[in-house]
């Protein structure tokens, strides 16, 4: 089992180039199944979620070549419509394959998805949307068995603007005759990325980034090359790290607009942020003032995937902060680990009250999920003494070369495999 050992107290200084967004790359890999041709995705991060998705696609019959940051997917010989439970339970995005498999093969059999243990994560909105499109669904023995031979275009209203459900609906509608409309859809940048990618292959989709998406059915898609959007959550994690430890970071290959909800919250008294088209420079000095309230919500609001990191910043800020998690039910699982490090946090349901302390102290802690694990690294970076983090495989799901990147930015961090 790999561990991180961190000796806290160093500022974070240097240049970091951000790679393609995990949540985009995973969706785009699923979307490759729609294309009866060869697709190359550039700038794909070397993270275990991408490896798992590649393993799933290979299982379906795709030929995949990984060359540095490029992933080339040839899905001309795709033949299998079943995703076994072993693989699906490792990766929540396997559920996005429902839409692409149904479009390509007219049937799909997917085991119930896994992913981070951060709440119930139901898929009822995905399934009711598919039913409205005429897909026949049987849920049995832990599998969702779907048949879309009688699917048709439709006007669908999602109960919630779910990212995954919106992506699944888009992929299911790409080849349906006529025009499909999805209302109350998610507006996340990853949805815009999916639209841009699919339109590049010949799809006719418009409206991504707004609450209504229209898809005009086409008969086939052609191969292409595409560079996904940069990872706003990885970038946000490093920015919060700088706010906690002090220092100066220059992030390149970022889209500052995708991070505006975080940038608006970083305390101006301690953090000076300058943005260019695809760069963010942050200079941090001294202890941050607490942010009175942070509430997670749908894009462009504050992302749930940065909630634990911003909470961790509050543990060492001056004053009291209230953090409200509106998206997932159990996303405060890292708090007990932070308490071991001397943090003062009270959790009540979906609300955490964080009273900032002068400093955290190093401890032996355990990552319980991807973003929570990254937050423990941030805590260790600013704590006094040594912090040991185990179960870092959670962090490997979404952060490429974390210890190497942080070491080159001055952090005393070692990975023991």
Site residues for ligand UD1 per CB under 6 A: 23, 26, 92-93, 119-126, 160, 162-165, 186, 303-305, 327-328
Integer CA distances (angstroms), 88 to 92, 94, 113, 160, 345, in order: 7, 6, 5, 24, 35
Give least dist CB 212 to ligand UD1, A.
17
Give least dist CB 159 to ligand UD1, A.
7
- Ranges of beta strands (E only) in 163-311 are 179-183, 204-206, 212-216, 224-226, 247-252, 271-276, 279-284, 293-295
Residue 186 or 205 having the CB closest to ligand UD1: 186
Give every CB contact of residue 122 below 8 A, 6+ residues apart in sequence.
Answer: none
Residue 234 or 251 having the CB closest to ligand UD1: 234
Integer CA distances (angstroms), 370 to 140, 162, 210, 374, in order: 30, 20, 28, 6
Which of helix, strand or coil describes residue 306? helix
Give least dist CB 372 to ligand UD1, A.
12
Residue 1 or 120 having the CB closest to ligand UD1: 120
Helix axes 163-173, 22-32, angle to 10 degrees: 20
Residue 237 or 290 having the CB closest to ligand UD1: 237
185 flagged as catalytic:
no
Look at the alpha carbons of 258, 260, 261, 267 in this order and tell me if their dihedral is positive or negative.
Answer: positive
* Count of CA atoms in the C-beta half-sphere (13 A) of 229: 23
Residue 49 class from Cβ within 10 Å (0-12 exposed, 13-18 middle, 19+ buried)?
buried
* Tokens standing for residue 192: 């815009």
Residue 114 or 246 having the CB closest to ligand UD1: 114
Integer CA distances (angstroms), 25 to 50, 51, 153, 376, in order: 8, 11, 27, 25
Give least dist CB 166 to ligand UD1, A.
8
Residue nearest to ligand UD1 (CB): 164
Please spell the DSSP secondary structure of 158-176, one letter per residue. -SS--HHHHHHHHHHHTTS
Give least dist CB 234 to ligand UD1, A.
12
- Ranges of beta strands (E only) in 18-128 are 38-41, 63-67, 70-74, 82-83, 107-111
**Annotated catalytic residue within 62, 116, 146, 245:** 116
- Pairwise CA distance, residues 322 & 307, whole Å: 11
Residue 309 or 317 having the CB closest to ligand UD1: 309
Is the Cβ–Cβ distance between 4 and 365 less than 8 Å? no
Give least dist CB 91 to ligand UD1, A.
8
- Pairwise CA distance, residues 163 & 157, whole Å: 14
Residue 113 or 246 having the CB closest to ligand UD1: 113
Give least dist CB 78 to ligand UD1, A.
21
Catalytically annotated residues: 116
């Amino acid at each position: 089992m790999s561990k991180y050992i961190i000796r806290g107290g160093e500022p974070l200084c240097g240049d970091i180039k951000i790679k393609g967004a995990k949540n985009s790359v995973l969706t785009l890999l699923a979307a490759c199944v729609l294309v009866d041709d060869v697709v190359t995705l550039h700038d794909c991060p070397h993270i275990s979620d991408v490896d798992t998705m590649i393993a799933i696609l290979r299982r379906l019959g795709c030929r995949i070549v990984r060359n540095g940051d490029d992933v080339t997917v040839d899905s001309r010989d795709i033949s299998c419509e079943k995703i076994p439970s072993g693989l699906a339970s490792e990766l929540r995005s396997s559920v996005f394959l429902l839409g692409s498999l149904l479009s390509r093969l007219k049937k799909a059999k997917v085991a119930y998805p896994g992913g981070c243990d951060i709440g119930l994560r139901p898929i009822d909105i995905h399934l009711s949307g598919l039913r409205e499109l005429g897909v026949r669904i049987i849920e049995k023995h832990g599998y969702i068995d779907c048949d879309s031979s009688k699917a048709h275009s439709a006007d669908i209203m999602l109960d919630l603007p779910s990212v995954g459900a919106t992506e699944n609906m888009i992929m299911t509608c790409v080849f349906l005759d006529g025009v499909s409309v999805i209302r109350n859809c998610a507006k996340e940048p990853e949805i815009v990325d999916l639209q841009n990618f699919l339109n590049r292959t010949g799809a006719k989709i418009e409206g991504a980034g707004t609450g209504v998406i229209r898809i005009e059915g086409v008969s086939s898609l052609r191969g292409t090359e595409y560079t996904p959007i940069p990872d706003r959550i990885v970038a946000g994690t490093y920015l919060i790290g700088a706010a906690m430890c002090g220092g100066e970071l220059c992030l390149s290959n970022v889209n500052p607009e995708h991070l505006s909800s975080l940038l608006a919250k970083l305390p101006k008294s301690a953090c000076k942020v300058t943005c260019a088209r695809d760069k963010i420079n942050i200079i941090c000095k001294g202890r941050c003032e607490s942010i009175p309230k942070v509430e997670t919500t749908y894009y462009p609001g504050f992302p749930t995937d940065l909630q634990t990191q911003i909470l961790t910043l509050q543990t060492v800020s001056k004053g009291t902060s209230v953090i409200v998690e509106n998206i997932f039910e159990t996303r405060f699982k890292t708090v007990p680990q932070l308490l071991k490090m001397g943090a003062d946090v009270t959790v009540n349901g979906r609300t955490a009250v964080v009273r900032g302390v002068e400093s955290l102290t190093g401890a032996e802690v355990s990552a319980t999920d991807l973003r929570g694990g990254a937050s423990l690294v941030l805590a260790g970076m600013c704590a006094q003494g040594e912090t040991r983090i185990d179960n870092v495989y959670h962090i490997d799901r979404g952060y490429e070369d974390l210890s190497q990147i942080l070491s080159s930015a001055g952090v005393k961090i070692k990975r023991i495999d």
